[in-house]
Amino acid sequence: MKVTILGCGGSSGSPQIGGADGAGEWGEIDSAEPRNRRNRPSIVIENKAGQRLLVDTGPDLRLQLTAQKIGRIDAVLYTHAHADHIAGLDEIRILNRILDAPMPAYADQKCWAELEQRFDYAFRPWDPAKGFFRPVLVPHVVAAGETVEILGLPVTLFAQNHGYISTLGLRVQNFAYSTDVVRLDEAALAGLMGLDVWVVDCFTSGGPHPTHANLAQVLLWVARLQPRRTILTHMGPNMDFCSLQRSLPAGVEPGFDGMVIEF
């Protein structure tokens, strides 16, 4: 199995639109460091046969896939329906053409309801004779607490508190992905024991945030769960790559777009 981080930035990306010269607002991070350039959060999990599960379809999806030379996706899983995780759903149309089939897609009931409302045209009856002039998904309803087989991979889903809503975290063998989380209950923590690699939301090194874990919280989780390797994602404008690399404890590191984790 192989995991590629397609994006590890916050909801507005890094840099976000703006800045003194209009070329981007970098906050407190170094614009000269390429690993500080971050797209919206997403990963791809590739199985032994080379089939790929895409987790979330954010607004940067086209650039993310082409940058990582990923020309085919075999299934999609949604963690939740916030715009930075779903706004690239239209790109599934092109992935449909490559696959030459409707796209198997997995999300919980609430996420599907939201997707159907916001992308209603994608859920109208599909006429195969017309091809893929819009995205065509095969919706699978999943729920936290379940283990679902996707592309032959056992994907265990668990609930994460994201402030105002709940998101799906996922574990595949000894890898887990926890984007968009501020609190984890005992059931989720129990399911995160014994990890080799944990990619986890860490929006800020500052004080508590209403919807995202801060560094202090991540380090508390790490002390308890003891993953062999912890990689930070969903990083905001005070999470400078090199400063973090210098200051984080052993076993904890900032992610970067294009990071590949082999199992």
Binding site for Zn ion (CB under 5 A): 82, 180
Contact 249, 45 (CB under 8 A): no
For Zn ion, the closer CB: 78 or 132: 78
Distances (CA, A) of 209 to 4, 58, 100, 216: 27, 22, 43, 11
For Zn ion, the closer CB: 96 or 217: 217
For Zn ion, the closer CB: 91 or 180: 180
Q: How far is the CB of 208 from Zn ion (least distance, A)?
A: 16
Q: How far is the CB of 163 from Zn ion (least distance, A)?
A: 9
Q: How far is the CB of 116 from Zn ion (least distance, A)?
A: 19
For Zn ion, the closer CB: 35 or 212: 212
The CA distance from 26 to 10, in Å, is 12
Q: How far is the CB of 111 from Zn ion (least distance, A)?
A: 11
> Which of 105, 109, 80, 103 has its CA nearest to residue 177?
80
For Zn ion, the closer CB: 52 or 82: 82
Residue sitting closest to Zn ion (CB): 82
Q: How far is the CB of 201 from Zn ion (least distance, A)?
A: 9
The CA distance from 7 to 134, in Å, is 24
For Zn ion, the closer CB: 16 or 51: 16
The CA distance from 63 to 109, in Å, is 29
For Zn ion, the closer CB: 46 or 180: 180
DSSP 93-141: HHHHHHHTSPEEEEE-HHHHHHHHHHTGGGGSPP-GGG--SS--EEEEE
The CA distance from 186 to 128, in Å, is 46
Q: How far is the CB of 40 from Zn ion (least distance, A)?
A: 10
Q: How far is the CB of 82 from Zn ion (least distance, A)?
A: 3
